[in-house]
Amino acid sequence: MGVAQIQELGKGLVGSGFRFLWALKMKISLVDEYDDHDEETKSENVRELLGDSVWHENGRRGMVMKSWVDQDEVLASSSIGGFVSHCGWNSVTEAMWAGVPVLAWPHRGDQRVNAQVVEESGLGVWMKEWGMGTRSGLVNGEEIGEKIGEFMRDENLRERARKIGEEARKAVDAGGSSHETITKVLKSL
């Protein structure tokens, strides 16, 4: 995702009206030029990247993390109502385990297949019209904010995701289908 699209995503997160935690991990972004600097310098660089208006609103509604975050721990928090994801397989399975709905925005490789799994399982919605990170032109912040708002207000989606989380956890518990299959494989060795 390029710098301009990152800026639009920031506008969308703020415009959605919902609180957010944004793990901004981009090797190509301006932020990484300051990895060897202190936190104040990094913060100023994130502010430069996002723009003053998004940065100002960010302080009221959300938090942008430049450093690594424990995604499992974040998704397990009861305060998390949804997850905008590129749909890497680990992200999908962690959201499934936590029962957190996913707004799928795949960019490359198997992420498209994973987004399809998200949608077909009922775990979330796939923004197909946003492309695979190759849409000509930007997805503007207003559109992103509207979609995030709709997604976050969808109580049926939240309930389906919660049930998927329950079923995923049952599968690995003693007597669950995954537990039984792994036990059989280990016994056959």
| Domain range enclosing 168 | 3-188
* Average pLDDT taken over every residue of the chain: 84
Q: What is the pLDDT of residues 62-116, one digit of tens each?
A: 777 777 889 999 999 999 999 999 999 999 999 999 999 999 999 888 999 999 9
Domain count within the chain: 1
Which CATH number covers residue 9?
3.40.50.2000
Low-confidence ranges of the chain (pLDDT < 70): 26-48, 50-60, 133-136
| Number of CB atoms found within 10 A of residue 172's CB | 12
Q: Are 103 and 125 in contact (CB under 8 A)?
A: yes
* pLDDT for 123: 96
Structure tokens of 64? 């942008």
Q: Are 70 and 137 in contact (CB under 8 A)?
A: no
The pairing of strands 102-104 and 83-85 is parallel
Q: What is the model's pTM? A: 0.81
